[in-house]
Amino acid sequence: MKLEDKDLISIQETRDLIRAAKVAQAELAKMSQEQIDTIVKVVAKACYDERVRLAKMAAEETGFGKWEDKVLKNALASQTLLENIKDMKTVGILSDDKVNKVMEVAVPVGVVAGLIPSTNPTSTVMYKALISLKAGNAIVFSPHPNALKAIEATVEVIQKAAKSAGCPDGAVGVIHNVSLQATQELMKNNDTNLILATGGSAMVKAAYSSGTPAIGVGPGNGPAFIEKSADIPTAVRHIIESKTFDNGVICASEQSVIVEEVSKAAVIAEFKKQGAYFLNEADAEKLGKFIILPSGAMNPKMVGKTPQVIGKMAGVEVPADAKVLIAETSGVGKHAPYSMEKLAPILGFYTVKTWEEACELSMKILHHEGVGHTMAIHSQNEEVIREFALKKPVSRLLVNTPAALGGVGVTTGLFPAFTLGCGAVGGSATSDNVSPENLFNKRRIAYGVRELSDIKKAQSATTTSVDTTSTDENQLIDLLVKKVLEKLQ
């Protein structure tokens, strides 16, 4: 009996998908803005119509989060996204400056590699497919193996809808025989033009090391500072809403809370009132050893789980009505598990004396992990908010809003996105909430508006004027010095 090599099969499948995508993209590149927009509109509607079924599939297959919250994420990645991009100019002539005589033309990047995580699988597929198609690109998805069925089902919905709207076959593809080798082939293939990498640090690093242009995002580890002027009940509600949304799997969600001594008691009381459970010292230590592995990596077993499930796995008794687990802490670093990213309803709790100290602590936390990503501040003091805005090494400073929902554009005016750039400080190619505008290049057509001989004449006239002025000034100084000397004599 002949044994099949699964790795070779997956590599061959990936190459076939890339070839088909390249052919399809050449057809997309010939389409008008109206044709592209029709495809995008039909695909977005199909995704929105299937948002509940796909959300349930994702929750059941991965075991992460709440399907009800995944429905909202699917709606954001389809209907809300469409509203934000439907009037966006992405095809043909973008601008024509008659004064400076410079014209800009959109040029699709080509074939996009879409790397998909297990935390937000269906919504990320919808989002990446729509922004890629809007910019005239084809896309091939590399699914996380733990969410393969949900991702395949989402791609099937997209493919069917896109074809009905005139999209060429192969414009949206997915690797079914998932393997590490297949993902590497997708990233390194000469016909792959850009990588959209959303996932763990190792995967994002591999994308940037592939030799193919990449837009990747690092881990989030955003602190939330509740400054003393904040509306404390509202701030606490926002943080709990954010941290319990889909059980905390959105990377922009808060990972720690910082408060000043003067308001500590009021903040703790409000957290308890709204359903948070503060761990005692022994339980906090026990949970800390569970949520972060000895290697320093986040324990995948607790990702997207409820406080009760996490408590049971860690051997910590958790009340049945606890919404969020909170541990008081002071350290930052590998020895301090609560200072790290925790994609679950768990928060570290820090106390400082002043907002200046909070400013420094938040930067220390971010530079340990999550630099360039996101943080939140709850305050009514615009001067303090401004100081945080000027100094924090993040791409999104979210003010008086739930961080998870604000970061992806649900409760803020930010572009609705599931790829959140971390900027150069975070090792990312962009600090944007990635949109179709990140997925096409601009060809600039520039007409001549001046002659070299004219430039030389102008330069010569300027030089002469400067030299004359300089000589006149020197002569005047010499004359004054001479007069002074004469008087002294």
Predicted pLDDT at 470: 52
Axis-axis angle for helices 121-134, 148-164 (nearest 10): 30
pLDDT number for residue 1: 40
Q: Which residues sit opposite 392 in a β-bridge?
A: none
In 3D space, the residue among 114, 162, 160, 168 whose CA is nearest the CA of residue 141 turns out to be 114
Cα first-last separation, the chain: 118
Which residues, at least 6 apart from 136, have a Cβ–Cβ distance to it below 8 Å?
25, 28, 29, 31, 36, 90, 91, 106, 108, 440
**Under 8 Å between Cβ of 39 and 125:** no
CA separation (Å) from 466 to 39, 149, 313, 473? 62, 74, 79, 11
At 386-395, the pLDDT tens digits run: 999 999 999 9
- The pLDDT, as a whole number, for residue 127 is 98
Q: Quick one: which of 142, 154, 152, 145 has its CA closest to 198?
A: 142
Query: What would the pLDDT profile of 195-245 be if each residue is shown by its tens digit?
Result: 999 877 777 888 888 999 999 887 899 999 999 999 999 999 999 999 999
CB atoms within 10 A of CB 391: 13
Strands (E), 217-286: 222-226, 254-260, 276-278
- Kindly tell me if the per-residue pLDDT of 155 is higher than 90: yes
In which residue are the tokens 């059980």 written? 247
Portion of the chain with pLDDT greater than 90, in percent: 85
Distance, CA of 258 to CA of 4 (rounded, Å): 55
List the single range of 199-203, 336-340, 369-373 with lowest mean pLDDT: 199-203
Q: Between 459 and 405, whose confidence is greater?
A: 405
Maximum alpha-carbon separation in the chain: 118
Query: In the structure, what pLDDT confidence band is assigned to residue 21 with cuts at 50, 70 and 90?
Result: very high
**Tens digits of residue pLDDT in 298-315:** 999 999 999 999 999 999
Q: How far lies 199's CA from each of 34, 114, 143, 206, in Å? A: 33, 11, 11, 11
| Mean residue pLDDT across the chain | 93
CA distance 288 to 166: 53
* Strand pairing report for 172-174 and 194-197: unpaired
Establish whether 422 is a catalytic residue.
no
What are the tokens at 126? 């919808």
- Token pair 């008081």: residue: 328
- Could you tell me the pLDDT band of residue 294, with boundaries at 50, 70 and 90? confident
Q: Is the pLDDT of residue 481 over 70?
A: no
**Alpha-carbon gap, residue 12 to 182, rounded angstroms:** 8
- The residue written with tokens 């030299």 in the block is 467
Distance between CA 162 and CA 132 in Å, rounded? 13
| pLDDT of 87 strictly over 70 | yes
What is the pLDDT at residue 184?
A: 95
Half-sphere exposure of 124 (CA within 13 A, CB side): 30
Instruction: Indicate the helix (H) or strand (E) that contains 132.
Output: helix 121-134
> Which tens digit of pLDDT belongs to each residue from 439-470?
999 999 999 998 998 888 888 887 665 555 45
Determine the average pLDDT of the residues in 255-261.
98
Average pLDDT of span 128-154:
97
Burial 323-334 (b: 16+ CB within 10 A, else e): bbbbbbbeebee
The pLDDT value given to residue 475: 65
